[in-house]
Structure 1
Amino acid sequence: MTDGPLLLVDDLRVTYHARSGDLPAVRGVSFELERGASLGLAGESGCGKSTMANAILRLLPAGTTVDGSVLLHGQDVLAMKPGALRAVRWTEGAIVFQGALHALNPVQRIGAQISEPMLLHRTQPSKRAAATRVAELLEQVGLPGDRASAYPHQLSGGQRQRVLIAMALACDPSLLIADEPTTALDVMVQAQVLALLARLRVERGLSMIFITHDLSVLTDVCDDLAVMYAGRIVEEGRSGELFHSPRHPYTSGLAAAFPTIGDPASRMNPSGLGGDPPDPAHLPTGCPFHPRCALAEDRCRAHAPELSPAGDARRAACLLVEDPT
């Protein structure tokens, strides 16, 4: 174990190659995650959140171009040989995917799926010890240990998501990436899964990256937030401050999209953003958000802003923040 942050991402760039041309999905993202800290990544679909998460553990399709560096425990994941990379996955960093029904093997019992990484990485001495550990993990995520004999289709959506969390924790990783793990769940089950992740993070001292398009969810489970748009981070800061007092117009639009509980006017007349994020293959000149921004000026169409100080422990990539006059 080295000193410094658990995870250090520096100038990460990811480009997919399609018949129609190159698609720059992540364009120069940098951040660090301290041990035991949690970072929330927000933004609309297509802004690069999941691509960046998959790049951290090198889960992108073959042929994808990835530049920059991803230091996990001081070692560059992007430069690792296959053997070293296999040793890092599950034991150092693990991921919880969005669709549990698609992530689980439908013809294999969940106990066997949870124990597989333990046996592969030899974190348990025998199948019997692994089975005991599986029961412990299921109980930690709120399921009876005897559910290990069930098949995925015999569980509810919330239970399957808990199984994915148990699987991700099987080899005691120090980094957990949760990629929209509650999107397919109803509100009550979503709240239960969020509370579970928050509890496990504290109990295990996990560092966590939580990805979703829902800013309100991130304020409940994350210390810091980073908002992504068109493959770049456009605002970052402490979660409560960023949600309640955003500096970037895009963050303001995301926050305004959520109705105020108890206010019928906000429910009947929701605000937010019109249109969609730009096609990565045809990014606009200047600030990529300017075609949707109500505050855009002529200079926004010509200059692409970098992240600049926007208050205490806050940064935003907006010319109006750099020069409020």
Structure 2
Amino acid sequence: MTETTTELLDIRDLAVSYQTDAGPLPAVRGVHLVVRAGEIVGVAGESGCGKSTLASTVLRLQPKDAVVDGEVLVNGADVQKMGWGDLRTLRWAGASIVFQGALHSLNPVHRVEQQIAEPIHLHEPDLADDTVLARVHELMEQVGLPPGRSRVYPHQLSGGQRQRVMIAMALACRPQLVIADEPTTALDVMVQAQILDLLSGLVRETGVGMLVISHDLSVLADVCDRVAVMYAGRVVEVGPADELFTGPLHPYAAALSAAFPLVGDPAARYAPSGLAGDPPDPRQLPPGCSFAPRCPRAVDRCSEAEPPLVSHGVDDRGRLAACFRVGEP
């Protein structure tokens, strides 16, 4: 990856809660995160840990009942304070999103080329139709699809091809920031690898910044520069992707890493690791560290106070973890 300096996305002390019949549901709690130009940052965690809420809040796509505190700065402008005109300009042209499940995101009655062209027509209405069509064909080639396939309908494409169309749509207006929310969840292993190679290649070629959301830590280790691990709405570890996957500091990050056995390792094959239980109900978080009830290393003080997310290590690699027991035997 290229050296990164420009902060495209700067999330500061973000908290998001939903209003429900049972009371407020805190989905994201005090998250800080930065994505720079030419960088891929991953967010990992189990379902219900706040990853997709974080992604949707970047483009202010959260439902109306959501209460948002903190700042979400895209190119220095706070998304939560933008007027609708500025927000409409930001979406697609400044930042875009690739959702999981392309078959549900694409319109089944419109041809692929119409759907890729739509945001271009919206943001550049003075462009001639043939110029837009040429841009669509260029995007198709950029994501590894023959331009001739632009005339088909979504159901005529495979799952991997539909996901490539979604990526082409996300790049249609040349945004600086792309959010990919579980972009490979519904794909088989071989196609998943192709999509990940495509995403990393696009970042190298175009210099965009990318935020990739996934429950699969091994996926993020392959494609990301840095990874943040979320648990119960909070970031519990941040670090370089390779270090976090091979040498996690937080017990939860270690459990996610251990869930993926090493190919050819008999110990991993016959004694697979796992993590019992589920994340806590956000409305009824346990006292202290939210992970303590599931943590094999928990001690009494873990239930007495919530550990802060602090730096660990003597270098500048950005290793942060929210655990009292980092470094202890």
Short-chain TM bin: over 0.9
Equivalent residues of 1:13, 1:66 under 8 A apart: yes
Match of 1:65 among 67, 70, 75: 67
1:160 aligns with 162
Structure 2: distance between partners of 1:179 and 1:4: 22
Alpha-carbon distance in 2 for matches of 1:93, 1:54:
12
- TM superposition shift of 1:53: 0.5
Q: 1:62 to 1:302 in 2, by over 3 A?
A: same
SS, match of residue 114 in structure 1: helix
TM superposition score normalised by structure 2 = 0.95
Which of 215, 219, 222 is equivalent to 2:217? 215
**3-state SS in 1 of match to 2:7:** coil
Matched position secondary structure for 1:6: strand
Q: Which residue of 2 aligns with 1:298?
A: 300
> Which amino acid is the alignment partner of residue 297 of structure 1?
V
Residue 124 of structure 1 and its aligned partner are, at CA, apart by 6.3
Q: Kindly indicate whether residue 51 of structure 2 is the aligned counterpart of residue 49 of structure 1.
A: yes
The residue number in structure 2 matching 1:266 is 268
Is 1:84 aligned to residue 97 of structure 2? no
Greater alpha carbon shift after TM alignment, 50-59 vs 304-313: 304-313
Q: Which residue of 1 aligns with 2:325?
A: 320
Percent pairwise identity? 59
| Aligned residue number for residue 290 of structure 2 | 288
Tell whether 2:253 aligns with 1:251. Answer: yes
Equivalent position SS for 1:277? coil
**Is contact 1:255-1:272 (8 Å) kept?**
no
Unpaired runs of 5+ residues, structure 2, are: none
The answer to whether the Cα contact below 8 Å between 1:118 and 1:124 also exists between their aligned partners in 2 is no
Match of 2:205 among 203, 206, 209: 203
Structure 2 counterpart of 1:110: 112
Q: Give yes or no for contact 1:111–1:149 (8 Å, CA) kept in 2.
A: yes
Q: For 2:322 and 2:41, locate their aligned partners in 1 and report how far apart those are by CA, in whole Å.
A: 18
Question: Is the contact made by 1:236 and 1:242 (CA closer than 8 Å) also made in structure 2?
Answer: yes
Question: What is the alpha-carbon distance in structure 2 between the residues aligned to residue 90 and residue 123 of structure 1?
Answer: 14
How many Å apart are 1:236 and its aligned residue? 0.3
Q: Secondary structure at the match of 1:94?
A: strand
* C-alpha distance in 2 between matches for 1:259 and 1:249: 17
Q: Post-superposition shift, 1:267?
A: 2.1
Query: Partners in 2 of 1:182 and 1:16 — Cα distance?
Result: 27
> For residues 226-245 of structure 1, what are the structure 2 equivalents within 5 Å?
226-245=228-247
Question: What is the CA-CA distance between 1:158 and the residue it aligns to?
Answer: 0.4
- Cα shift readout 1:160-200 (whole Å, capped 9, x = no counterpart): 00000000000000001111100100000001111111111
Cα drift, residue 268 of structure 1: 2.9
Matched pairs, number: 322
Counterpart CA distance in 2 for 1:66 and 1:308 is 24
Q: Secondary structure at the match of 1:41?
A: strand
DSSP-derived class of the 1:105 partner? coil
Counterpart residue type for residue 304 of structure 2? A
- What secondary structure does 2:268 align onto? helix
**Structure 2 counterpart of 1:121, from 120, 123, 126:** 123
Q: Please, what TM-score do these two structures have when normalized by structure 1?
A: 0.97
Look up the equivalent residue of 2:202 and give its one-letter code: L
Q: CA deviation at 1:128?
A: 1.7
Q: What secondary structure, in the 3-state scheme, does the structure 1 residue paired with 2:307 have?
A: coil
The whole-number CA distance in structure 2 between the counterparts of 1:299 and 1:112 is: 58
1:222-260 per-residue CA deviation (whole Å, 9 max, x = no partner) reads 111100000010000111111111110001100111111
Cα pair 1:123 1:171 within 8 Å, conserved:
no
User: Does 1:146 pair with 2:151?
Assistant: no
Once residues 143 and 216 of structure 2 are traced to their aligned partners in structure 1, the CA distance between those partners, rounded to angstroms, is: 23
Write the distance in 1 (CA, Å) between the matches of 2:156 and 2:114. Answer: 15
CA distance in 1, matches of 2:276, 2:125: 50
| Residue identity opposite 1:196 in structure 2 | L
Report how far residue 265 of structure 1 moved. Answer: 3.1
For 2:107, the aligned partner's letter is: N
CA distance in 2, matches of 1:190, 1:324: 37
1:324 Cα deviation from its structure 2 partner:
3.2
Q: Distance in 2 between the 1:211 and 1:108 partners?
A: 28
After TM superposition, the runs of 4+ consecutive aligned structure 1 residues lying more than 2 A away are none
